[in-house]
Amino acid sequence: MYLLDEVKKIIKEALSLDRANFTYPPNSSLGDLSLACFEEAKRNQKNPIEFTIELAFKLKNDEKLKKYFSDIKAAGPYLNFYILPAYLSQEVVKKIRSLNQGYGQNDQGANKQVMIEFSNGNTHKEYHVGHLRNISYGDTVNRLLSANGFTSIPVSYINDFGIHVAKTIWNWQKSPKYKESSEDKGYLLGKCYSEASQLLTDNPDDKNEVVKIMKEVESRAGKNYELWQETRQWSINYFASIYKELGIKFQETYYENEVIDEGLKLVEQLKAKKILRLSEGAIIADLEEFGLGVLPVIRSDGTALYPVADLALATEKFKKYDLTRSIYVVDVRQSLYFKQLFKVLELIGYKQPMVHLTYDFVTLPSGMMSSRTGNVITYKFLRDKLFEKLFTETSQRHQDWNKEKIAEVALALTIATIKFEMLKVSADKIITFNIDEAARFDGFTACYLEYGYARLKSVVRKAGFSFGFADLSLLVEQREKDLMIKMAKYPDVIASAGEKYNPSEVAKYLFELVQMFSDYYHEINIMKSAPKVRRARLALIKSLAQVLDNGFRILGIKALDEM
């Protein structure tokens, strides 16, 4: 049990409460923990303020509580508790030291299996900044689920069939410049697709050629099918290189072409069960009675729509795994579609909770992005631009470092910056990605957090400190207590962020923790403290570094010892 959970338990037992509404005061002058007394006063048929004063008097005179609290005050209908600094510091540092990377984790999920599907990209298209929001969000929610005791199964579903593939293959054969280029072929396919979309807009008569290519690919025979196989692998290899660089791992990857046939069989079964029906030559799910309109499944020309593969994939997931929850990370535009899909799955008989985690758009300062027009920031462009800026910055800060070390740190900062920008705001907010702002070393940025962590590690390293006995009761400064309380709240942040699927809570917490340390560092000269005090402060600093490292891991960011 973590310290704040233990403290809440102690208070509830002292007051004989089964339930209690605890909150955290906005500043330390109001205490470390507050208990709202409205409901308890109502049950006792007393005025809330008078009742709270009575409780404060009772608790302050309870000898058992004096080893936990330095003061207990009534503030209107709230009881404010001030945790004894010596108890606080001892318990927090001891817990962090014993758990290390496990600090903040809990077993609420009881190892229940949860599948989270994200990074549902399209082969033969660009991998752009919008995809980075999906993959960063999905990966961090996956890490949060694991930290909260679930057996989280991360999977990816790749759309490798469809008209976009045919457009790319059509243009690839028409344009020798792509074949002759020395650039990564997976990357080039995205440029080829954007150009194809524009060419077909200008010359609509060529669309018939594209349709022929698509039918040949779907028939799994002929030269275009062979070219599809080759180019598809280029995209898959390119995606794999991006995942590796970002540190993203999937337990399984599904592809549309592998489930589409099963999906078509399932459609026939659902027609027989009257879950799906014919309508003007098309096959639909009529969901009007549920207020969800109509879900087209197969067009009147016989070509399959998204539900064919999605229904087959969902049934495959539930057959293979004992899932208690299935989560899909897809942008907000697909909200209605997933309500419709989940309803059809429910009608089939799947009762497990299904969750659509939405997120809003990533835009450029110039406006919205579009793969068709080529108005995107590709992953490659973004990474290269950020790397260039951060390589220069790191070179200027460390003229004694060799180029290899500078490049290593600059790349780690680049990846951290990309992820942090995608995670620092809640998923329902639009992100306007500005490269110059994202790469700053001050403000709410990854570089600021990394610099704070590196400074922590530098202090510990220069002192040659390792954990051993330290008299933590010597940590009597208010800023030291504030840091302890903040570290004690970390497990609550992980629990809350996991429950809400909200990584921005972790990002905000880490930023505030680094800010608090920065203020403390500038006010307190740690190395010039008396020896015993210095040792206690170094124990505090080392614990703080561990909490930051744990938070970085949740966000999928590498903590840098030097930068």
Average pLDDT over residues 100-104: 98
Domains and their CATH numbers in the chain: 3-83 (3.30.1360.70), 118-257+321-363 (3.40.50.620), 379-554 (1.10.730.10)
The one-letter amino acid code at 410 reads A
High-pLDDT (> 90) share of the chain, %: 89
Q: Distance (Å, rounded) from C-alpha 340 to C-alpha 290?
A: 9
Tens digits of residue pLDDT in 31-61: 999 999 999 999 999 999 999 999 999 999 9
For the range 62-68, what are the long-range contacts, defined as Cβ-Cβ under 8 Å and sequence gap of 24 or more? 62/14, 64/14, 65/10, 65/14, 68/7, 68/10
In whole angstroms, what is the distance from residue 297 CA to residue 320 CA?
24
Confidence of residue 464 (pLDDT cuts 50, 70, 90): confident
Q: What are the C-alpha distances in Å from 193 to residues 101, 186, 218, 371?
A: 44, 11, 19, 8
Rg (CA), the chain: 28
Residue type present at position 79: L
Token couple for 559: 């903590």
Predicted local distance difference test score (pLDDT) of residue 334: 96
Is pLDDT of 505 > 80? Answer: yes
373 has pLDDT over 80: no
Do the beta carbons of residue 420 and residue 468 sit within 8 Å?
A: no
At 196-244, the pLDDT tens digits run: 999 998 888 889 999 999 989 989 999 999 999 999 999 999 999 999 9
Q: Which residues contact 89 (CB under 8 A, 6 or more apart)?
A: 472, 473, 475, 480, 481, 484, 536, 540
Three-class DSSP labels, 216-239: HHHHCCCHHHHHHHHHHHHHHHHH
Q: Round to whole Å and give the CA distance between 90 and 145.
A: 29
pLDDT of residue 370: 53
Contact call for residues 418 and 380 (beta carbons, < 8 A): no
pLDDT, residue 367, reads 61
pTM of the model: 0.94
pLDDT of 372 higher than 80 = no
| Residue 134 or 129, more confident | 134
pLDDT score of 344 more than 90: yes
pLDDT tier for residue 114 given thresholds of 50, 70 and 90: very high
Of the two residues 363 and 513, the one the predictor is more confident about is 513
pLDDT category of residue 368 using cuts at 50, 70 and 90: low
pLDDT at 301: 84
% of the chain with per-residue pLDDT over 70: 98
Q: Given pLDDT bands bounded at 50, 70 and 90, which one contains residue 375?
A: low
Task: For the chain, give the mean pLDDT.
Answer: 94
Residue 468 has pLDDT above 90, yes or no: no
**Beta strands at 113-117 and 151-158: parallel, antiparallel or unpaired:** parallel
**What was the pLDDT predicted at 130?**
86
